[in-house]
Structure 1
Amino acid sequence: MIRALVAGVVALSAGQAAAVECRDLDHEDNRYSVCEVDAGSEELRLFLSDGEGQVLGQFSSVDDALGTEGKQLAFAMNAGMYHDDRSPVGHYVENGVEQMRVIPNAGPGNFGLLPNGVFCIREGRADVIETLLYVETQPGCRDATQSGPMLVIDGELHPRFLPDSTSRYVRNGVGTSADGSRAVFAISRNSVTFHEFGSLFRDVLETPQALYFDGNISRLYAPQIDRADAGFSMGPIVGVAEPRE
C-alpha cells in the first residue's frame, strides 16, 4: 500500500508511525534516498529463496511470500553482490542457516577491496562488522550478508577512497549505530564516488560503521516515497516485514 509522504519524511497511519522512516535528501550536490529502521523493534530480515529453493529475486515476490505469514513488505533493498545464478558472492545466513561461508581474503572487484564487512541482524539489533572482526568474534547472527568494501570503519572512511576519484555509479549500502539500534539504508539517485557515498554515512547519517552493497544494479522499495524499483532478478534482499493491512 502506497502511503502519502508527510512533511517530506515519514507517513503516519491511524496515528501510528510507519515501520520505516524514508526520505530524500541532498548532500554536497548529490541526491539520495534514505530509509531508517529501528532495529530494536522492527522485523528486519534477509530474503533469498522461497521454501522450494527458488530465488525470489523481486520485491513483489518477497511481498507475496510474506503474505503467507500474514505480513507485508514495508521496505526493501538489494543486499549484497551475487553470481549469475543469484547465489551470494560472500557469506550469507538466513534465519540461522548458513548458505555461504565467509570470504576473508582480498580479491578482484569491489567485494575484494579490503576491508570489507558483514551486515549482521541479531535479536534486537543490527550491526555492520568488519569481516576479520566478524570471524574473530563470531557474533551469532540470525541473518547475515557479506559485501564490500566497508564505507566507514570506526568513524573513518575506507583508506582507499579518493576525494578526486572519477569512478561514479549509482550506489547503495547500509550504516549502523554503535549500539545497533539504528540501521540506515541509502541509495544514490545520481552517480557518486565511493568517497562521496561514504561521506554521507559518516557526516550526515552519523553511522560509525557502514557497508557498500552494490552499484548500478541497486534498487529500492520504499512506498513512503512512492518508490518501487523493478527490473531483472536480484540476489539477496534486505527488508522489513510488518502486519498485512
Structure 2
Amino acid sequence: MPRAIAAALAAILGVFAGQAHAVECSKVQYQGNRYTLCEVDPAQDDMRLFLRDESGMIYGNFAAIDADLARDGLQLSFAMNGGMYHEDRAPVGHYVEDGVQVMRVVPNAGPGNFGLLPNGVLCFGDGSAHVIETLRFVEESPSCAYASQSGPMLVIDGALHPAFLPDSTSRFIRNGVGTTEAGDRAIFVVSDNSVTFHDFASFFRDHLRLKQALFIDGRVSRLHAPQLGRSDLGRPMGPIVGVVVPAGSLN
C-alpha cells in the first residue's frame, strides 16, 4: 500500500483509536510451566508478516518495524518472531508477504526441527488464520495473503507430533502458534521457562483446546507485547509476525 494512502487511512482510523480492537495478552501457568500468550482475531486485527523494509533491508527487530510504521501513523500492538530463517535471515520455508511469494514450500524432510515432519504453514488473510500441515497445504493450495512455514507441527488434528516424548530432557524457551478450526482465532504462545516439546504441545492441545498448532522456534523466541510492558531484545530476527494499530491507540 502506498505510504500516502496508508497515512490517510491511519488518520481516519485514529479518530476511532479509543475503539480499536486490542490483541489480548496474558500470562498462564500450566502443569508447572509458565507461558505468555497473545490472542489475535484475524477478522478484526490487522495481522501482517514483516521481513524487509522498502529499501530491501531486513528489519531484524521490533523497534525497526515500529519506526517504519510510525511514518504512517501506525504501531505494533503485538509481534513475535514468525518463522525459521537462514544465517542471512532469509526464510527457510514457504513465505508470502502481502500476496507476494518470497520462498516456495519445502515439503521434504531435512535436518533440524524444521525438517522433522510433519511440519506446517501459518496461512492468514481475508479475515481468517489457519495452521495447516505442509502436505495438506500443498494438496489444498489455499490462498494466503501471508504465509510462513515452520516446524515441526505441535498438534496435528488433535494429536501431538509422534516424535514428542513425555520423558524428553531437551528443554528450551519455545514459541509457537495455534489456530481454531473456524480460523477465527490465532493464539501465539512463548514459554517463560524452558520446556520440552511434549509439554509445549500439550499446552496447546490440552489447555488451549486447539487441534492445530505449529512450532516457530526454540532458540530465538521473542515477544513484543506493549500491554504487558514487554519487548524482548536479542540477535536480529528473520520473519516477524505482528498486529498493526493506529499510533496512540494503546495509550
Taking structure 2 as the reference length, the TM-score comes to 0.90
**Equivalent position of 2:110 in the other structure:** 107
**Equivalent position of 2:184 in the other structure:** 181
**Equivalent position of 1:4 in the other structure:** none
Are residues 1:41 and 2:47 paired? no
**Equivalent position of 1:11 in the other structure:** none
AA in 1 matched with 2:232 = D
For residues 181-223 of structure 1, the C-alpha deviation after alignment (integer angstroms, 9 at most, x for no partner) is 0000000011000000001110111211000000121100001
For residues 42-81 of structure 1, the C-alpha deviation after alignment (integer angstroms, 9 at most, x for no partner) is 1010000001110001101111121232211000000111
Q: Give ranges in structure 2 of 5+ residues lacking alignment.
A: 1-16
Once the two structures are overlaid, the 10-residue window that deviates more, 201-210 or 111-120, is 201-210
- Aligned partners of 2:156 and 2:213 also within 8 Å: yes
Are residues 1:215 and 2:224 paired? no
**Equivalent position of 1:85 in the other structure:** 88
Task: Describe how 1:45-56 pairs up with structure 2 within 5 A.
Answer: 45-56=48-59
Count, aligned residues: 233
Distance 1:43 1:122 in 2: 9
Task: Describe how 1:168-207 pairs up with structure 2 within 5 A.
Answer: 168-207=171-210
Counterpart pick for 1:140 among 122, 143, 147 = 143
Q: Give ranges in structure 1 of 5+ residues lacking alignment.
A: 1-13
Are residues 1:237 and 2:231 paired? no
Distance 2:206 2:68 in 1: 37
Task: Describe how 1:25-40 pairs up with structure 2 within 5 A.
Answer: 25-40=28-43
AA in 2 matched with 1:91 = H
Which of the pair is proportionally richer in helix?
2
Q: Secondary structure at the match of 1:218?
A: coil
What is the Cα deviation at residue 18 of structure 1?
A: 4.8
**Equivalent position of 1:5 in the other structure:** none
Distance 2:101 2:197 in 1: 29
Distance 2:116 2:87 in 1: 21
Distance 2:123 2:68 in 1: 22
For residues 106-136 of structure 1, the C-alpha deviation after alignment (integer angstroms, 9 at most, x for no partner) is 0011000000000001210010000011111
For residues 216-237 of structure 1, the C-alpha deviation after alignment (integer angstroms, 9 at most, x for no partner) is 2110000111111011110000
Give the share of equivalent positions with the same residue, in percent.
Answer: 62
Q: Secondary structure at the match of 1:93?
A: strand
Counterpart pick for 1:150 among 149, 153, 162 = 153
Residue 17 to residue 122, structure 1, CA distance change in 2 (3 Å): closer
Distance 2:32 2:75 in 1: 35
**Equivalent position of 1:8 in the other structure:** none
AA in 2 matched with 1:152 = V
Distance 1:26 1:18 in 2: 26
Taking structure 1 as the reference length, the TM-score comes to 0.92
Are residues 1:120 and 2:108 paired? no
For residues 62-108 of structure 1, the C-alpha deviation after alignment (integer angstroms, 9 at most, x for no partner) is 11121232211000000111111110011100001111110000001
